[in-house]
Structure 1
Amino acid sequence: MKFMVLVKASVESEAGAAPKPELVEQMDRFNEQLAASGHLVETAGLTRSAEGARLRWFDGLAEPEVVDGPFAETKELVAGVWILRGESVAEIVGLMKQAPNPDRQAGTIEIRPMVESR
């Protein structure tokens, strides 16, 4: 089974601030461990929302509305993703509890099972 792990954005990530080199090094090692264990499918960081767009569909309209970023609600934004393989949400929670956070900064990671296409 595949899981998507969503790393929620922060004020810093939305400002385009690069992570500290220490965090990048620790994250690289963590990702290498996930790959070696067979859990890692893919990982990616996302640019700030100012570089993106949203499409919104409304009843009765033939075309979606296009909304250019940035988007106001940082708590609803995603700054990065992992796609992992595992047997259960509990297994992925256990793995992600080991994710580096050297500065003990507040943040949120959301874990969701992926629906496999048929």
Structure 2
Amino acid sequence: MRFMMIVKATSDSEAGVLPSQEQFDAMQKYNEELVRAGVLLAADGLMSSSNGIRISYPEPGGKPKIMDGPFTEAKELIAGYTLIEVKSREEAIEWALRMPDPHGFGQGEIELRQVFEIEELTNNDDLLAKETALRKQVKEQRQA
């Protein structure tokens, strides 16, 4: 099972305030623990929404609308993520509870969401085979 720990943005992260050395060190230690446990798939911080672009589809079948950031409502924005693969929802919660406060000062908020596996979305054998082939291709490209 894959889970994404979504780190919510704060006014500081949206203002481009970088983590303190103490926060950075704590997160580095946490990521090292995830690696040693063999559960870490990816972990990254995101630049503020002022560097972002939103693409929306306001009308069914219509032309997409492009909007440059910054975007309002920092609580609805994402400042980073950690993607893990674990055996259970309970294990994912345990790892999320171990994550240091991502922003310090008691402002951190982490949303934990399970990632769909392709088998949960379709039982079409052709689509499953294509998805498996694509994932294999991506893995091979990363190893090259």
For the superposition of Structure 1 and Structure 2, which TM-score range results when normalised by the shorter chain? Answer: over 0.9
Higher normalized strand content (fraction of residues): 1
Secondary structure, in 3 states, of the residue corresponding to 1:50? Answer: helix
Higher normalized helix content (fraction of residues): 2
Which residue of structure 1 lines up, in the alignment, with residue 114 of structure 2? Answer: 113
Residue 14 of structure 1 pairs with residue 14 of structure 2: yes
Query: Over residues 2-32 of structure 1, what are the superposed CA-to-partner deviations in whole Å (9 max), with x where a residue is unaligned?
Result: 1111000000000000100011011101100
Secondary structure, in 3 states, of the residue corresponding to 2:98? Answer: coil
Are the aligned partners of 2:101 and 2:107 in contact in 1 as well (CA < 8 Å)?
A: no
How many matched pairs?
118
Structure 1 residues 88-97 or 16-25, which shifts more? 88-97
Are the aligned partners of 2:101 and 2:108 in contact in 1 as well (CA < 8 Å)?
A: no
RMSD: 1.6
> Structure 2: where are the runs of 5+ without partners?
119-127, 129-144
Q: Distance in 2 between matches of 1:107 and 1:60?
A: 36
Are the aligned partners of 1:89 and 1:112 in contact in 2 as well (CA < 8 Å)?
A: no
Query: Over residues 44-102 of structure 1, what are the superposed CA-to-partner deviations in whole Å (9 max), with x where a residue is unaligned?
Result: 10000000110110225631111110001111100000000112222111111111239
Which structure has the higher relative contact order (CA within 8 Å, separation 6+)? Answer: 1
Whichever of the two has the greater Rg, that structure is 2
TM-score, normalised with respect to structure 2: 0.76
Which residue of structure 2 lines up, in the alignment, with residue 30 of structure 1? Answer: 30
